[in-house]
Each structure stands twice: as C-alpha cells, then as structure tokens.
Amino acid sequence: MPPPTSVSAEGIDKNSRLADTTPNIKFFSPDKYDFPVIAFNCTNAVGTILWRVVEFAKRWLLSQYNSAFYGGPEILRMEKQEVEKVKHWEEGTLLLLEHACWIEGQEGKVPVRIMALVMPKDPRVRFWYSAIASFKGLLLRLDEEGFIHPKRTFEPKIDKHHRRLYVWMRDAFMEAMEVPHHPDYLNAITVRSLPPDPSNNLANAPTQLTDYSPPIAHPSTSLRAIESCEPLYTSTKDPPLDLSTDRYIHALAPPEREIASQVQLTCSAYLLVKRNFFQAWWVDVYRSDKKVKDGENVRTNYAHEQWLEKMYEWSRSRCKRLVAGWRVLGLLEQGRLVPWVLSGGMLVDDVRAMEVVEEDGDGEGVMGEEEGAGKTVGRPRRA
C-alpha cells in the first residue's frame, strides 16, 4: 500500500504540541512589498469548472511534493476545500501573491507562493501555497484549459487597493494555517459576560463557561502539597497520563498538571471539567440561602464526588482522587467561593484582595481564621 500523500488537520491530535507545528512563514511588511497582486477571473459556466480548478491544483501540488527529493509526503498538508458548497453558475476570483513571504531554510530564505480562491458571498477562502515550485506551470495549464482569465493587476504604490488586499491575504492565510484548538479547550476558555443564571439552562451552556474556581490558596508550596497528597496516588492501577507533549500544558499551574496527569485527563479535558464543576457548585451555593447564612457547607466532599460520578460516569476512585487534589489546593473551601457568589463573579486578583492573609514565620500566606476570610451573611437580591 503506498504511503499517504498528504496530511490534514483532521488527523492531527489537537491536544498535542504537534498541532502548533506549522511552517514558520514570514511576510514582508506592507511598506516593503513591491510586487503586484494578480487577480484572475475564474468562471463556472458549466457548474464544474471550479471543482476542476480545485482538483487540478491538488493533483499538481501532489505531483510536485510527492517525491523523495523533497523529503517525502509529510511536507504536504492538504485540507478539505468544501468545493461542494461553491454555488454553480457564479464567477470567482483567483488571487496570486508571490515574493511576499518566505521560510527560513538551511541555505537561506525559501520563497512561498500563495493562491486564494474567493467566491462572492462565501466566507470560505480556499488557499494553496508552495514553498518549492512556482505556480507558473499551473497557471499556464489552467489558462490553456480555459479555467481562468486575467482580470486585474494591483500594482504597488499605484493601485489604492494593493496594500489593503495584501494585508487581507496575509492575515487570512496565516489564520487558515493554524490548526484549530481542541473543542474542550475552546469550551473551557470561552468567557461569559454575565454570571451563570440558575433559572436559564441556555445561559449555562458549555460554550458560555467561565472560571468560578478560587485561586490556589498557597501557590509557593502547592506542588509539594500535591505530591504529598496520598489519596491522589492510591486506589488506582492506571499509570499517570504523560502530558509532556500536551498542547495546553502551560494553561495549568504545575500542581494542577500533576492532578490532571494522575486522574488521566488531558489539559483541555481537565480545564473543561473544572469549569463545569465550579460553575455547578457556584449555582448550588447561590441557591442555598440558609446554609450560607448559617455557615454550613452546601456540599460535602462526598457530594462533590457524587457530582463528578454522575456527570462524567467516572469510577468512584477517580472522583475521590480529583476531589482530594482540589481540596489540598484550597479550591473546595466554601468560604473562598462565597465572595464570588455575592459579587456575581470576580477576577482572581479581586478574590485574593478580599482574602485576609497573614504571614507565618516562614513567610507563607495563610488564611486568617479569626477574620474568617470570605465569610459572609446574606447575598444580593435577585432581580
């Protein structure tokens, strides 16, 4: 069986750092780009021309790159062009951008050529680029077949649209080159403009989550505390998940990386679980007037474990280990969550400012128990 001739972002693990490995393409500044942007008219008179242009371009790219001389098929990335969504009987514009960007190679700069197919009223821009072969042969062939016809040349420093077109193609191309983020990460980091509404399920959709978790109580000693947390490392035969190549490892503090690894969660999955968990706890605390006023815990550790078990259908052991890790970091102290409820959600710095911190002999920050950091009575009225 022959080796694959291309790769697609669909086949890339979006949790892996490999997803961030894209060619380091550098563009000239608009002031220094002195070459024209050329536009070709791309007709679709019989309803199949555009499809043939796209497929012809793909075959040409494969013929240029599918060679041992160029290092094998791994150097070619090819995505779906969604040609079936191009409307029949409409004319498109094929834009050519040359001498605008390059890749740094061992023997100097390797020029990159870019083509873009733009259709009216279609938000999709279909790009092709080459860092090895010129598009000249392809364009001549397309012209011979009657697929394209010269339309307009945008000259630098003469045509008022040259700079704007160049900047647009540069930015759109670089955005298209990026491998999309993992859905868990996108759902976890999406910030809502308003606090969750317990009476509105739509307002609590995963795509509207924000972080209602208190900050780690003692950051300077938190990793040591986690590594000393025996319940996190017991009751499991599963090895820790290797997060060394995780794309989002820098989104977690070191102690939370250790927790995620021990409960076999990728960083994006951990973030999403954490957002869902603390949002639900936020709502429970918001609804529990009497318990909050009396200083009672709205949820016990066992209730936290049950919520995770029911929500994600995990084993009880896995739920207990995650709750144990969060408890060690001070994230499950209700007294630290209540100020968020009273204020409708705050930034981390605001929460830290409200917490009364004392300095012990070692200089570690400790919650002042006499002052009852975060203790409150009552809550804001509901509209």
Residue count of the chain: 383
> For residue 276, is pLDDT > 90?
yes
Average pLDDT on 218-236 reads: 92
Is the pLDDT at 340 greater than 50, yes or no? yes
- Which helix H or strand E contains 153, and what residues bound it? strand 148-154
Average pLDDT, the chain: 75
Q: What phi-psi label fits residue 252: left (phi over 0), alpha (psi between -120 and 50 degrees) or beta?
A: beta
Mean pLDDT in residue range 33-53: 69
DSSP strands (E only) in 77-172: 92-105, 108-118, 125-130, 148-154
Supply the pTM of this predicted model: 0.66
Q: What integer pLDDT is reported at residue 350 of this predicted model? A: 54
Hey, which of 55-59, 171-175, 226-230, 295-299 has the most confident mean pLDDT?
Answer: 226-230
Rounded distance between C-alpha atoms, residue 63 and residue 138, angstroms: 11
Q: Average the pLDDT over each of 2-16, 175-189, 190-204 and give the range with the smallest value.
A: 190-204
Count CA within 13 A, CB hemisphere, residue 127.
Answer: 19
Running DSSP on this structure, what letter comes out for residue 228?
Answer: T
Backbone angles phi, psi at 93, to 5 degrees: -125, 125
Q: What is the pLDDT of residue 367?
A: 36
What is the pLDDT, as a whole number, of residue 83? 60
3-state secondary structure of 360: coil
Give how far Cα 198 sits from Cα of 62, 303, 337, 341, 382, Å.
Answer: 54, 19, 16, 12, 11
What does the pLDDT read at residue 243? 96
